[in-house]
Structure 1
Amino acid sequence: MNQELIPYLTFENTKDALEYYKLVFGATDVFRESPTAKQAAEMAFNDDVDLDSMTMSAHFKIFGKEIWCADSFLGKPVVSSLISLMFKVDLDDSDAVTEMENLYKRTVESEEVKVIVTLEKKSSGNRYGQIVDKYGITWIFNAIRND
């Protein structure tokens, strides 16, 4: 059975969020599609709405992991500390650890995130850190031994 669990985020303005994730996180493989006129009619949008500024579906990759997103068409999304996304790498895979550390460093140096836990070696021997982005999403960086 081929299954995946893919994060799906909702933003007030996904078009802006995509730019943020490209700039701050180095998001790649960015795809965005606006609602069609037919979809807008089905969703009872006002005739004067700018469809190009709206996002029906989008996705991007960070650290090689796919994330999907769209605009919140049911009102303003609520920021919640309940949403966390974790990157987990094998501590013995030096290339993966370096790539994760570089991503963490990039986000922190952008000054567009809040550092919750500095990425460093912990007493367990693991490397761990946390940041929160401007949308309230917590990103966890975790390098552990896969025993």
Structure 2
Amino acid sequence: MNNTKLIPYLTFENTKSALDYYQRVFGVTDVTRQAPTEKQAEEMSLNEDVNLDDLTLRASFKILGQEVDCADSFMGKPVISSLISLMLQVDLHDSDAANDLEDLYKQVVASEEVKVIVTFEKKSSGDKYGQVVDKYGVTWIFEGKK
């Protein structure tokens, strides 16, 4: 089981646009995107007149070094759910990681393109915690643990 990874996988109506948003607002890196081939489009029964370059079969990006995969929803419009959140957790004893998390939170909030649910600040436990929801309904939790 040591070779097992759990990678968040997000589904969007337009992943190409979502990737632009996450690059601009969250500063994500290592962005990759693959459009479907004509054969794949045929196998998925997509309309022949669709612009394949606008569609995303698979994409990924990194945020604070963590991988997130994503793709277009080819099964219809994705449903927004508050049941799943993505947590970025760092050890507050690692000053570089703590600063990176703080900087990311400030960047995201400064964009004014997220809704702040909980301001990222020190709690009575000594840990730091904050929460935002992005324009796609994804909840991002920022946590610094002692």
TM-score under structure 2 length normalisation: 0.98
Report what 1:57 is aligned to.
58
> How far apart, CA to CA, are the structure 1 residues paired with 2:33 and 2:84?
22
| Number of residue-to-residue matches in the alignment | 145
Q: CA deviation at 1:93?
A: 1.1
Structure 1's consecutive aligned runs of 4 or more residues displaced over 4 angstroms after TM superposition are none
Report Cα offsets for 1:78-129 as digits up to 9, x if no partner.
0111120001111111111110000000000000000000000001110100
Report what 1:82 is aligned to.
83
Report Cα offsets for 1:14-43 as digits up to 9, x if no partner.
000000000000010000010000000111
**Structure 1: unaligned runs, 5 residues or longer:** none
Q: What are the within-5 Å matches in structure 2 for residues 1-80 of structure 1?
A: 1-80=2-81
> How far apart, CA to CA, are the structure 2 residues paired with 1:62 and 1:88?
12
Q: In structure 2, the residue corresponding to 1:132 is in which secondary structure?
A: strand
> How far apart, CA to CA, are the structure 1 residues paired with 2:47 and 2:28?
32
TM-score under structure 1 length normalisation: 0.97
> How far apart, CA to CA, are the structure 2 residues paired with 1:83 and 1:111?
22
Residue identity matched to 1:115: V
> How far apart, CA to CA, are the structure 2 residues paired with 1:85 and 1:45?
31
Residue identity matched to 1:21: Y
RMSD (Å) for aligned C-alpha atoms: 0.6
Report Cα offsets for 1:39-71 as digits up to 9, x if no partner.
001111111011010000000001110000000
